[in-house]
Structure 1
């Protein structure tokens, strides 16, 4: 069981580093005054899920879920 805990801790550290890098790579959410008038509804705004920014957001969500799950598992003291 000790080996499994060490492997999970290594995966946890890798997820922490990847999550930090991904959050720093993302653009800010401040759209300025253009969002008030509806200028954000451009082609790029509608297809944001297919862009690199959209992929970064999806990967960040999955890594955050993995981070929380591993944090709970490692805190159970079962291993």
Structure 2
């Protein structure tokens, strides 16, 4: 059981890294982060197409990661 939870945790961590790197950038680099990055963060623009799919997969992997980490910390 312990080995299975560790395996799921490692796979989720690697998946999070990969899917975050596959997502397109939301700002124009450092200048966009300083001057106008908050517009897109709090704006009403939704991800569309492949970005929406990658976003959903990332959210699912993060939930799996945190639940798995909680279970590992609680039971072992």
The TM-score, its normalising length taken from structure 2, stands at: 0.71
User: How many pairs align?
Assistant: 67
Higher Rg? 1
Q: Which runs of 4+ in 1 moved over 6 A?
A: none
How big is the alpha-carbon RMSD for the aligned residues of Structure 1 and Structure 2?
A: 2.8
The TM-score, its normalising length taken from structure 1, stands at: 0.69
Mapped to 1, the partners of 2:69 and 2:25 lie a distance apart of 27
Unaligned runs of 5+ in 2: 33-38
Describe how 1:57-72 pairs up with structure 2 within 5 A. 57-72=55-70
Unaligned runs of 5+ in 1: none
Partner of 1:26 in structure 2?
23
Q: Deviations over 1:26-77 (max 9, x none)?
A: 1111166xxx7xxxx9xxx66x34x11110000001110111111111011x
